[in-house]
A and B are shown apart, each in its own frame.
Chain A
Amino acid sequence: MVKFWILHGIKNGILTTKYPKKKPTEEEIPARSVPPFAAPESNWIQGQETCPTDAIENNTNSLDLGRCIYCRRCSDAGFIFDDNPEDRHKSLQAKISQNELIRKEVAGIFSKKTNIFRKSFHILMIDVGSCNACNLEVLNLSNPYYDLTRLGIFFTNSPKHADVLVVVGALNKAMVDVLKQTYDSMPEPKLVISIGACAISGGIFKETESFVSSIDKVIPVDVTVPGCPPSPIQILQGLLLCMNKIEKDERIPGSKGGL
């Protein structure tokens, strides 16, 4: 049996992604985690109407990634996605600005001088009302394709041991106190990452009766990872940003080959 696994392992080779040393491959960033990147200006109003989560704002001509659930209904309104490389040239003609949700920097903690999380980083995931897709993507980080532990990141079971709180899901009424309590139980210094459109803005569930607010209204959020759900590599980017292992500019937000 042991022989089998060893041979099997040698035959399969290294599956683990080269990220962050190299850029992620196309396979690692699936099509549906890429937002529309271009559209003729005349289609903005139509796009705004079709968008179920108000991610497209007509007056500022911007796309709020924190709200986008990547449903692609705006493709009916002429918004362009780069599934086909041939489509890309269209974007060059249409000058559209993309406006991401402002990501707050964490002051002091991971400036170059005090990189206290660089070597060992313990994460605790808390679900405050997700559809389980984000949860699974966070769990997927520990599979051999992404292999968190090679970067010194570990899952932990208790907030008392956690450095970062990974929040997924649209904040539910029943989970507000739990979230606060969990955050309070964490030792200083601590970071919070909110993952997915639901956590950042409420996403598709923002008008349900049990939704309270986005996470940053309840506890201070340091890094956000947009997506519905974001792919594991995007979550990894968020974590590495917390650990100060990559610069903010190196981030490849939800894009295939960069924007």
Chain B
Amino acid sequence: MGLIPSFIERKDVAESSDSIQISAIFEIEGRTLALLSDIEKKRTILSTVPSKLSEEADILLKSEEKTGAQINLDTGSKVEGYGVFSFSYGPVSAGVTEAGGFKLITYGERIVKVVPQINFKKRGVEHKAIGMKPEDALLLVERSAGNFSASYSTCFVTTIENILGLQVSSRSRWMRAVAIELERIYNHLHVFARLSETATQNVAAAEANVLKERVLRINAKYFGHRYLFGFNRIGSVYQNHFTKDRRKDLVNDIKNITRDFSHLVTYFLSSRIFLDRLQNTARLPHLDALKLGAVGPSARASAIDWDDRITYPIEPYNDIFVEIETEDEEDTMSRTMVRIREIQSSMLMLEQLLDRMPSDETMSDKTSDNGLNYMQDNFSFCRIESPSGDLIQVVQLDKEGYIKFLHIRPPSLVNWLPFAKSLEGNVFTDFQFAYESFGLSYADSDR
């Protein structure tokens, strides 16, 4: 008790505004709470579930079940007609490469409806974390989605630091930002490579893969791990040899990659075959994106200008130049363009970050404040912009400092339904383009 009443604020706002999308939903102390994002006014509302969003909430809640079996993310609409059948894809497939599947309801070639099948590999990280020490739980959290590890661990440690009121050096926070941006770059490059591969642009795919491997090697060189595991610690970061000289080397490496990437993009955008496959493929209209709760680059490609780095900036982001990249064509091309521009802006950001990084370990005067000042009863949450979008983690600690409650709202989970919606009316060959362009990960949604 004590926690709940002060947080249910502005329920009237949640019921009235049209631009509100449901971000996370969780049960704490027997109550169902929702985190809502007001896209227009750029704010987060903690509230009970508003009645008009109950339908989305149902689907989100359904996907939260702890099971050892798959869940069909089905909106329940029937499909009728001569020759209609369901085409199963996955969980063992070359296109998806992860343990997850789809049911494509189709009459051959044309996709009528997509039912994503998730939770083939739900490991129950949230459940397992209860009763663990935060530093033990950190290992679990950062390994729940390998390719978003830096975002996951940063989000987690920031929340813990927030709750514990720990002083963290600015340098550590800046290094976390460096890691997150590196992660964004290699993930976007991965998407880019996979898209090129799907369009059988093999040279472009190989070039993008080379760039990705170079970023991964930078990760290994400066953070010790190709996928940035284990560099975050609560209250600090694991630092080895991040000296000024090495920072300069890193800036040089990034400049090289930037140059090669801009070459790649120039020639990529001049390939008509490629553009033809991307344009008008898998459109996600703005209204659908809003109502279905799309996040990240996929939402920004449908003209939803929401980026946690700007809306809720943690320390370095309010100090450097960041820009929201949006597009309004709503198709796969837009999503790809958003990602391309984000790679470029991330590279610019990295140069700024490394250039101006504090070189000593003076503690930051700022708390881990990113505008989300809900901190009561050892309960807090944090929003971080992961490569695929807005990542939310809600943590509550008990009095001994053990984890009492953990909720992770991964970006991929909420992007499944927008993805399914965007594919309606497209043909089979568009499937892979849509899947790759949304940057979906089963590991992420099945944490």
- Interaction A to B: yes
Within 8 A of A (CB), among B240-258: 240
Hey, which chain B residues are within 8 Å of A173, CB to CB?
Answer: 68-69
A130 at the interface (CB under 8 A from B): yes
Q: Is A86 an interface residue (CB 8 A)?
A: no
Assess the B190–A211 pair: CB atoms within 8 A.
Answer: no
Task: Convert A178-207 into 0s and 1s, putting 1 for each residue whose CB lies closer than 8 angstroms to a CB of B.
Answer: 100010000000000000000000011101
Task: Report the separation of the CA atoms of residues A182 and B146 in the bound assembly, to the nearest whole angstrom.
Answer: 24
Picked from A4, A128, A134, A159, the residue with its CB within 8 Å of the CB of B146 is A134
Task: Identify B124's interface contact among A83, A142, A208, A231, CB under 8 A.
Answer: A208
**Are B99 and A127 in contact, with the CB atoms below 8 A?**
yes
Tally of B interface residues using CB under 8 Å: 59
Task: For chain A, give the interface size range.
Answer: 35 or more
Q: Does B210 contact A (CB under 8 A)?
A: yes
Residue ID in chain A nearest B205 by CB atoms? A143
B213: contacting residue among A4, A12, A145, A209, CB under 8 A: A145
CA distance A8 to B121 in the complex (A): 42
Judging by beta carbons under 8 Å apart, are B230 and A174 in contact?
no
Contact status A210-B230, CB under 8 Å: no
Asked if A159 and B92 sit within 8 Å, CB to CB, the answer is: yes
Q: Let me know if B147 and A15 touch, CB within 8 A.
A: no
Q: B213 touching A128 by the CB < 8 A rule?
A: no
Please, what's the 1-or-0 string for A216-252, where 1 marks a CB less than 8 Å from any CB in chain B? Answer: 0000000000001101000000000000000000000
Assuming the contacts A125-B97, A132-B98, A175-B91, asked whether A209 and B140 have C-beta atoms less than 8 A apart, the reply is no
Chain B residues contacting A229 (CB-CB under 8 Å) are: 146, 226-227
Q: How far is the CB of A171 from chain B (nearest CB, A)?
A: 9
Given contacts A1-B267, A132-B98, A174-B120, contact A143 B213 (CB under 8 A): yes
Residue in B66, B97, B122, B270 with the greatest tally of chain A CB atoms within 10 Å: B97
Bound Cα distance A205, B129 (Å): 11
**Using a CB-CB cutoff of 8 Å, which residues 5-34 of chain A contact chain B?**
5, 8, 12, 15, 27, 30-32
CB pair A71–B443 under 8 Å, yes or no, is no
Report if A172-B210 is in contact (Cβ < 8 Å); known contacts: A125-B97, A136-B146, A157-B93.
no
Q: Which residues of A (111-163) have their CB < 8 Å from a CB of B? A: 124-137, 139-140, 142-145, 155-157, 159
Q: Nearest CB to that of A231 among chain B residues?
A: B226
Q: Which residues of B contact A133 (CB under 8 A)?
A: 143, 146-147, 149, 227, 229
5 residue pairs of the A-B complex, CB under 8 angstroms, read: A27-B217, A124-B92, A132-B443, A132-B444, A157-B94
Q: Which residues of B contact A (CB under 8 A)?
A: 66-70, 91-94, 97-99, 119-125, 127-128, 136, 139-140, 143-147, 149, 190, 193, 203, 206-207, 209-210, 212-213, 216-217, 220-221, 224-227, 229-230, 238, 240, 263, 267, 270-271, 441-444
Known pairs A136-B147, A157-B94, A229-B227; list 10 more (Cβ under 8 Å): A130-B99, A133-B227, A169-B99, A174-B67, A174-B68, A175-B121, A203-B143, A205-B123, A208-B127, A209-B127
